[in-house]
Amino acid sequence: MKIKLSTIVLITVLIIIAIVGGTKLGHQNEDTPQQTVENTDNSETTPRETSKNNVTQTSSSNQVTQETTKKGSTPIISEKLDVDEVLSNSNADYFIYIELGGGTITVYGKSVSGKYDEVIKSSPASVGLDQSTPTGIFYLKGRKEWMEIEGEGFVRYATMSDHDVSISSALYETDDGNTLIRKSYLGLGQPATGGNIYTVADTAYWITQHCLDGTVIQIVEESPKNIVCDPLPELNSEYFFTDPTDPSHKTLAELEEAGDLPYSIYLEKGSFTMTVYKKDENGDYTIPVRAFNTAVGRTAGRTPVGTFEIYKKERWHQFSYNGGFAQYATSYYGNLFIHSPIYGLMEIDTMLAEFYNEIGTNSTAGCLRTTSYASYWVYSYCPMGTPVMIVNGSPKGTISEKPPKIPDVYMTTDPTDPFNPDSIY
């Protein structure tokens, strides 16, 4: 009878333990989702910290992809803070304000009232296509003289924000101030970018020099202030591939007066390629800026080999042997020039197609015949005294794209001519 009683007691204790344990387990299971939410909430950073974390992951690269500027990356800070409140706590000297609808960028300074209401700079600005420029309040963080925009080109005087949106010049083909992509510049004021902000070089440069890290940037939809800025300055007809507002640009006259030779020209007869190099940090001409497809002498000795220098330029040069004309003739030796195709008259719509289509072949009397674009570029940006080296074969393996072919008609217009309304450039 004692054994049976003890057995009953033991069974009762085990049942109680099982019931209590099951209840606790059930409570743990019920609490799990709530605990997960609490952990997530505790792991969130403040809006300012979130932006900083994003920058840490992406700002080390010199390339900015369109994915970093999608609308979905709008910072939480833009929805939680009022710009007046933010500016009241700012110690920065300036405030940058961008209206997407109006395509403008304005830099404000503090007036005597202590408010940011004094206009310092106001310029046309290109913004993102398809609402790819995020709106909100940002903070300036870092700057680069040159930055590559993947798949698009290079921009100059780039200032980054803490949310991977940059403010810079329009696009360039290379990291050289004389390689402006005209369509990018002429499009300032219209949506045209992958999310970043492009403006004139003068404004972009000014921001890099005067707006310190932490400067507040506000980007807004539409055009609530209806800001009207100065019109876009026209391109200089003598320097079509330079932003006319660029404070770093030096004219040929200024370069020649200072004895400054920023470029050298190197031509490989074997590859029919004329390459323009600029100086590296050691002062050596090693950085390629341009590569132009070029026709050379029809026989081996007609185009001389050696090192020469530019000593004369003619806007139009007439050849005595055929009576034709060439644009942008830059002489490097005797009566031999770097020049455009041949024209029947001193008019850009009288180009003889045969001479254009021969570019990239052995077909000249000794000159270096290239496109109107290439000859214009050399004529405009290479000062007197610029070295010209011509070699046989292709020891460096330089290459260049052949210009687009045109129909074999008698007279036409060079499709690369900067002054052709339908220029491919």
Q: Which residues 6+ apart lie within 8 Å of 250 measured at CB?
A: 258, 260
Average pLDDT, the chain: 85
What pLDDT, in 10s, does the model give residues 213-238? 999 999 999 999 999 999 999 999 99
Strands in 150-212 per DSSP E: 153-161, 166-168, 171-172, 197-199
In this prediction, residue 77 carries a pLDDT of 45
- Domains of the chain as residue ranges with CATH: 48-220 (2.40.440.10), 252-412 (2.40.440.10)
Q: Of all residues in the chain, what percent carry a pLDDT higher than 90?
A: 77
In this prediction, residue 81 carries a pLDDT of 67
In this prediction, residue 17 carries a pLDDT of 47
**Mean pLDDT within 14-39:** 41
In this prediction, residue 46 carries a pLDDT of 35
- From the DSSP assignment, how many helices (H) and strands (E) are in the chain? 9, 24
Q: Are 140 and 96 in contact (CB under 8 A)?
A: yes
In the predicted structure, residue 60 carries a pLDDT above the cut 70: no
Q: Which pLDDT band holds residue 322 (cuts at 50, 70, 90)?
A: confident
In the predicted structure, residue 128 carries a pLDDT above the cut 70: yes
Phi, psi of 227 (to 5 degrees): -70, 135
Q: Which pLDDT band holds residue 80 (cuts at 50, 70, 90)?
A: low
**Mean pLDDT within 251-279:** 97
Of 416 and 76, the structure prediction assigns the larger pLDDT to: 416
**Tokens 């200089």, residue located:** 236
What pLDDT, in 10s, does the model give residues 278-293? 999 999 999 999 999 9
In the predicted structure, residue 50 carries a pLDDT above the cut 90: no
The model scores a pTM over 0.85: no
Of 133 and 68, the structure prediction assigns the larger pLDDT to: 133
**How many CB atoms lie under 10 A from the CB of residue 187?**
19
DSSP 242-291: S-TT-TT---HHHHHHHT---EEEEEETTTTEEEEEEE-TTS-EEEEEEE
3-state helix, strand, coil in the chain (%, to 5): 25, 30, 45
- What SS3 class is residue 305? coil
Q: H-helix or E-strand containing 98?
A: strand 94-99
In the predicted structure, residue 355 carries a pLDDT above the cut 90: yes
In this prediction, residue 171 carries a pLDDT of 98
In the predicted structure, residue 29 carries a pLDDT above the cut 50: no
In the predicted structure, residue 156 carries a pLDDT above the cut 90: yes
In the predicted structure, residue 422 carries a pLDDT above the cut 60: yes
In this prediction, residue 381 carries a pLDDT of 98
In this prediction, residue 163 carries a pLDDT of 84
In the predicted structure, residue 10 carries a pLDDT above the cut 70: no
Exposed e or buried b per residue across 305-326, where buried means at least 16 C-beta atoms within 10 angstroms of its C-beta: eeebbbeebbeebebeeeebbb
Residue 235: both structure tokens together: 């391109």
Q: Are 126 and 196 in contact (CB under 8 A)?
A: no
Could you give the residue ranges of the DSSP H alpha helices within 192-237? 201-210
**Mean pLDDT within 296-309:** 96
Question: Distance between CA 303 and CA 330 in Å, rounded?
Answer: 15
